[in-house]
Chain A
Amino acid sequence: MTRPKVISFANKSFWRNLGLSLTTILILVLTLISFNVVLSVNAMTKAALQLVEGRIDISLLFKVDAPIAKIDELRAALGKIPKVTSLIFKSRDDVLTDFKTKHAKDQEILSALSELPENPLGAILIVRAASSQDYEVILSAIDIPEYNSLIEQKTFEDHATIIKKIGAMTNRMQKGAVAISVLLLIIAFLIIFNVIKVAIYTHREEISVMRLVGASNWFIRAPFLIEVILFNFLAVILSAILLYGFLQFGDNYVKSFFVGSGFSLMGYFNGNFVRIFVGEFLALSVLGVMSGSLAMRKYLKV
């Protein structure tokens, strides 16, 4: 079978219904844009969570009068929890030294401190785990009255709410974008169905002649499928151009938000270029071939 000829038939059909062709491509491009938004939000969420998680730890501030033996007991208990990756203990003296270095230039604070009869600061235990989910386990493991009576304050809640907030916000954005993508996919499916229907109609005479003279079913069908794939190809290229155009200036904003972590959307899309765009092309093609085949089954009688 001569491939170039099939493609040239498909190509002619594209130009013959130019208006419909452009509408189809527009819808496909919109679908891809909204899908790329989903991907961007996903990548940014991941980066944001990583950023926050890297900075997360639990600080247990002990009461000034907490007995050392009890504190050691707690440290030993924590050390046995496999999820704990590191334990940093600062004795009351360490904490005082830290405080003094931190405020070395603030004479007022230092003199106020020296007037106190004894060190007013309690010891601190900094607990680190690999992931944010582990903290809940760790916290609940030490949540018993015996230990709670030693502890003045646990500084974890704040981080947890930040993580929850990021999660909730991105979740909402993502749900919206996914809903829009699905809606656009359905529209794309219907529009491709229609494009093929119209193409079959405009070509009905050619098709009936083709049949009569013994053209293979493949030769009759292929131009329509190639047309669909051509649409998808153009749509992916156009959406990629629009995306990179947007990233030219939009990415600076993202970069400044993630300053320090080195995350950028441009970097994300560049790093996953083949996977994202070839993936989108293949996914659309599967959709298009399904929709097109359905239209042909309905309107192209053998």
Chain B
Amino acid sequence: MIYFKNVSKIYPPDVVAVKDVHLKIEPGEMVSIVGQSGAGKTTLVKLLIAEERPSKGRIQIGDWDITNIKVSEIPILRRQIGVIFQDFKLLPKKTIFENVAFALEVCGAPDSRIKKIVPQILEIVGLEKKMHRYPDEISGGEQQRVVIARSLVHAPKIVIADEPSGNLDAINTDEIVSIFKKINELGTTVLLVTHNREMVNALRRRVVTIDRGSVSNDQAEGNFIRQ
């Protein structure tokens, strides 16, 4: 369960990015988070992975109160949350396989486990045949899928995608959406932050609308709401 309890975030000196957000997301849910540019969506994501600290309120993941999480505990948190940001951050000098393996390597996984897990995960996103290519040798949509694969290596309980369909065309968007559906069907909580109305409407799942830092609408089976 993800629980924002009256959370506010003020960037110094006085930018109110998130204001009194009260939000509960149950395990296994798939939620779209929508809202205008600058509404505070990315800030919510950063609060969840402890890249930013809330100025007010509490944040809880399961029984774990991460409001004042210790620096040394942040890595443990991040291994339980797979994050996909719009700027992919694939390492250009590593192959697809190596990019995904990197996430395991730097967390100290043994080679034998890396060799076993990485191809399995690349299969979920349909890239097992291209795993020896470099990022600039595959399409934008494929790159996006590599980033999704990388976010899955620790078998996270929660996957958060911030604008995963950024500048992809409709066909690629469908592919990405079906991958997230697949991930969600495996029991993972999925949070999709997006501007893409087709994507939201096609999902027919819960939609949370953020307006100027606050939750303005929360529909169980919603549509993208025009601001």
Contact = CB atoms under 8 A, between A and B. Distances in A.
Q: Chain B interface: which size bin?
A: 20 to 34
A214 B105 CA distance: 11
B225 interface: no
A5 interface: yes
Contacts of A302: 71, 74
A214 B89 contact: no
Contacts of B49: 212
Contact of B107 (A206, A208, A217, A219): A219
B72 A217 contact: yes
A301 to B, nearest CB: 10
A215 B106 contact: yes
A214 B71 contact: no
Given A217-B72, A219-B108, A302-B71, A212 B79 contact: no
A123 B67 CA distance: 95
Interface string B197-214: 000000000000000000
Given A206-B91, A209-B91, A216 B71 contact: no
A219 B103 CA distance: 12
Q: Specify the main secondary structure of chain A where it touches its partner.
A: helix
Interface residues of A, number: 18
Interface in B106-158: 106-108, 110, 150-151, 153-154
B162 to A, nearest CB: 11
Contacts, number: 59
A213 interface: yes
Contacts of A210: 106
A5 B72 CA distance: 21
Nearest to B78: A214
Contacts of B153: 213
A210 B151 CA distance: 11
Contacts of A209: 89, 91, 102-103, 106, 150
Interface string A1-13: 1100100000000
Given A205-B91, A302-B71, A302-B74, A213 B108 contact: no
A217 B77 contact: no
Contacts of A220: 106
B30 interface: no
A208 B78 CA distance: 12
A2 B103 contact: no
A213 B89 contact: no
28 contacts: A1-B108, A2-B110, A5-B105, A5-B108, A205-B89, A205-B91, A208-B89, A212-B49, A212-B89, A213-B103, A213-B106, A213-B107, A213-B151, A213-B153, A214-B75, A214-B77, A214-B78, A214-B79, A214-B80, A215-B106, A216-B107, A217-B71, A217-B72, A217-B75, A219-B106, A219-B108, A220-B106, A302-B71
Interface of B: 49, 71-72, 74-80, 83, 85, 89, 91, 102-103, 105-108, 110, 150-151, 153-154
Nearest 3 CB-CB pairs, A to B? Answer: A214-B78, A214-B79, A215-B106
Given A214-B75, A214-B79, A216-B75, 8 more contacts: A2-B105, A2-B108, A5-B105, A209-B150, A213-B106, A219-B107, A219-B108, A302-B71
